[in-house]
Structure 1
């Protein structure tokens, strides 16, 4: 009969393997910077499309089917930001569209 104070050998091996697996998982997450788990916020919600202010760097979201508000315009085709900090979101922080529809450098903030 096994005394109550002793444990079977396999229990301690199982704990060692579990601890090693957890340590490995933590190391992988730390080394990758959680890149596999990153999420970016969408510029607009479902049922909306983004618009930008004419002559400035402001933006807004408009419900599908509604007209673009006065003082705003749609982003040029192929240059529409989809997620916060994506290529086009960053680009439009320093560029804008003038009254004629030309892409120009945005005015300096004061």
Structure 2
């Protein structure tokens, strides 16, 4: 009877190991769909600012005004994560000295 208990445990452990390996393989094949990491444009306690006359940007501490040559992004067009809609948009657009949005060309 001890032999059959060991055999059942071995079969159960083998089945569990096979199931875990299959799950890991599935995650590897799907590229971990649904587990996307998005990097913030700025760290905690900072906000992004736009370089006037170019496509550059920087991060400024929340309590400070933008440095000379930089300005706040227009309301509603502030990038939050790298490669989000507005981060990509500002790679091809800029603010001119009059505050007008201009396509970079």
Query: What is the TM-score with the length of structure 2 in the denominator?
Result: 0.85
Deviation, 1:13, is 1.3
| 5+ residue gaps, structure 1 | none
**Residue 83 (structure 1) aligns with:** 81
CA distance in 2, matches of 1:79, 1:2: 70
Deviation, 1:36, is 2.7
**Residue 95 (structure 2) aligns with:** 97
Deviation, 1:94, is 1.0
Q: 1:62-97 CA deviation, whole Å, 9 max, x = no partner?
A: 111211111111111111110111111111111111
Query: Of residues 68, 71, 74 in structure 2, which corresponds to 1:73?
Result: 71
CA distance in 2, matches of 1:79, 1:58: 15
- Of 18-27 and 72-81, deviating more is 18-27
| 5+ residue gaps, structure 2 | none
CA distance in 1, matches of 2:84, 2:70: 21
CA distance in 1, matches of 2:20, 2:81: 33
Query: Of residues 15, 22, 25 in structure 2, which corresponds to 1:27?
Result: 25
* Paired positions, count: 105
What SS is found at the alignment partner of 1:26?
helix
Runs of 4+ in 1 over 3 A off after TM superposition: none
CA distance in 2, matches of 1:100, 1:27: 55
